[in-house]
């Protein structure tokens, strides 16, 4: 069998992307680090947002990373699951709101 596409150990190598494009890699990690600092939102709130988005974009690395980050910050499993639901609700809402487009088209084409 071929190697899996996702290897949990690859998360630790994330920083290596800078090796093939130093300037862009460094700019990205500077930006990334800055985003998650305390600001108008707390770092804790941003960690929960990141966890929700990680699920929506279905990134297994990000899910591992932000579950661990949440644990380190003392975030409870109830808070984490609610964040996942918030992401899931927006994602399913985004699908369902297209139902209006379907309804519009249906109505336009129907006598």
Partner 1 sequence: MATKSLKARADELAQANKQLDILNGGIFEEGELPYFKDKIAEIGHFPLRPRKLEILQINVGYMCNQVCEHCHVDAGPDRKEIMIRDTMELCLEVIRNTGAHTLDLTGGAPEMNPDFRWFVEESAKAGIKDFIVRSNLTIIRANKKYHDLPEFFKKHNVHVVSSMPHYTRGKTDKQRGDGVFDKSIQALKDLNAVGYGKPDSPLRLDLVYNPSGAYLPGDQAALERDFKAALLQDFGIEFHSLFAITNLPIARFLDYLIASENYEDYMTALVDAYNPAAVSQVMCTNTLSVSWDGWLYDCDFNQMLGLKVASKVKHIKDYNEDLLQDRNIIISQHCYGCTAGAGSSCQGTVA
Residues in contact with partner 1 by the rule CB under 8 A: 12, 42-44, 68-69, 71-74, 76-77
Q: Which is closer to partner 1, CB of 43 or CB of 88?
A: 43
E strand or H helix that includes residue 74? none
Q: How far is the CB of 38 from partner 1 (least distance, A)?
A: 8
Q: How far is the CB of 47 from partner 1 (least distance, A)?
A: 9
Distance CA 34, CA 110 (A): 53
Q: Which is closer to partner 1, CB of 82 or CB of 103?
A: 82
Distance CA 48, CA 76 (A): 10
- Six-digit token pair at 94? 């985004």
User: Which of 66, 32, 65 is CA-nearest to residue 49?
Assistant: 66
Q: How far is the CB of 16 from partner 1 (least distance, A)?
A: 13
Q: Which is closer to partner 1, CB of 23 or CB of 78?
A: 78
Q: Which is closer to partner 1, CB of 72 or CB of 110?
A: 72
Bin 74: left if φ > 0, else alpha if -120 < ψ < 50, else beta: left
Q: How far is the CB of 76 from partner 1 (least distance, A)?
A: 6
């Amino acid at each position: 069998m071929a190697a899996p596409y996702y290897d949990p150990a690859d998360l630790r190598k994330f920083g290596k992307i800078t090796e093939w494009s130093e300037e862009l890699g460094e700019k990205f990690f500077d930006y990334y680090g800055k985003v998650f600092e305390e600001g108008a939102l707390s770092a804790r709130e941003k960690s929960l947002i990141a966890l929700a988005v990680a699920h929506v974009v279905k990134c297994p690395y990000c899910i591992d990373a932000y579950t661990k980050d949440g644990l380190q910050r003392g975030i409870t499993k109830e808070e984490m699951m609610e964040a996942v639901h918030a992401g899931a609700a927006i994602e399913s809402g985004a699908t369902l709101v297209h139902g209006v487009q379907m309804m519009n088209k249906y109505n336009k084409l129907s006598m």
